[in-house]
Amino acid sequence: MSYEHILVAVDLTEECDPVIKKAMALALAGHSKLSLVHIVEPMAMAFGGDVPMDLSQLQQQQFDQAKEKLEALKRKYPDVKTGDSHLTYGQPRQEIHNLAKEHHVDLIVVGSHGRHGLSLLLGSTANDVLHGAPCDVLAVRLIKRPEK
Amino acid sequence: MSYEHILVAVDLTEECDPVIKKAMALALAGHSKLSLVHIVEPMAMAFGGDVPMDLSQLQQQQFDQAKEKLEALKRKYPDVKTGDSHLTYGQPRQEIHNLAKEHHVDLIVVGSHGRHGLSLLLGSTANDVLHGAPCDVLAVRLIKRPEK
pLDDT of residue B118: 46
For chain A, the average pLDDT equals 80
CATH number at residue A95: 3.40.50.620
What is chain B's mean pLDDT, rounded?
A: 80
> What is the residue type of A20?
I
Is residue B128 domain-resident?
Answer: yes
pLDDT in tens, A31-82: 889 999 998 877 655 555 565 666 778 888 888 999 998 888 888 887 665 6
Q: Are A130 and B132 a contacting pair at CB < 8 A?
A: no
Q: State how far residue B23 is from chain A, nearest Cα, in angstroms.
A: 9
What is the per-residue pLDDT for B107? 96
Asked if residue B103 belongs to a domain, the reply is: yes
Rounded to whole angstroms, how far apart are CA atoms A139 and A6?
13
Place B140 in a pLDDT band, splitting at 50, 70 and 90: very high
Which amino acid would we find at residue B140?
Answer: V
Quote the percentage of chain B above a pLDDT of 90.
30
User: Which one-letter amino acid corresponds to residue A102?
Assistant: E
What SS3 state is found at B146?
Answer: coil
Count of domains in chain A?
1
pLDDT greater than 60 at residue A5 = yes
Percent of chain B with pLDDT over 70: 77
Domain of B97? 5-141
Name the residue among A1, A126, A135 with its Cβ closest to that of B141: A135
Q: How confident is the model at residue B122 (pLDDT cuts 50, 70, 90)?
A: very low
Q: Is residue A147 part of a domain?
A: no
Mean pLDDT of B56-74: 86
In a domain, A89, yes or no: yes
pLDDT tens column, B24-63:
888 888 888 999 999 887 765 555 556 566 677 888 888 8
Q: How many percent of chain A have pLDDT more than 70?
A: 77
Residue B127: closest C-alpha in chain A: A127
**Residues B127-137 pLDDT 10s:** 788 888 899 99
> Chain B interface residues facing chain A, Cβ-Cβ under 8 Å?
1-2, 21-22, 24-26, 29-30, 112, 114-116, 119-120, 126-127, 130-141
Q: Looking at the predicted complex, does its ipTM rise above 0.85?
A: no
A148 within some domain: no
Rounded Cα distance, B98 and B76, in Å: 27
CB count in 10 Å sphere of residue B70: 17
> Of residues A89 and B53, which shows the higher confidence score?
A89
**Residue B148 placed within a domain:** no
Domain contains B96: yes
pTM for the model stands at: 0.83
Q: Test A140 with B136 for CB contact under 8 angstroms.
A: yes
B77, exposed or middle or buried, with CB in 10 Å at 0-12, 13-18, 19+? middle
Residue B77 located in a structural domain: yes
**Residue B24: closest CA among B16, B13, B32, B15:** B32
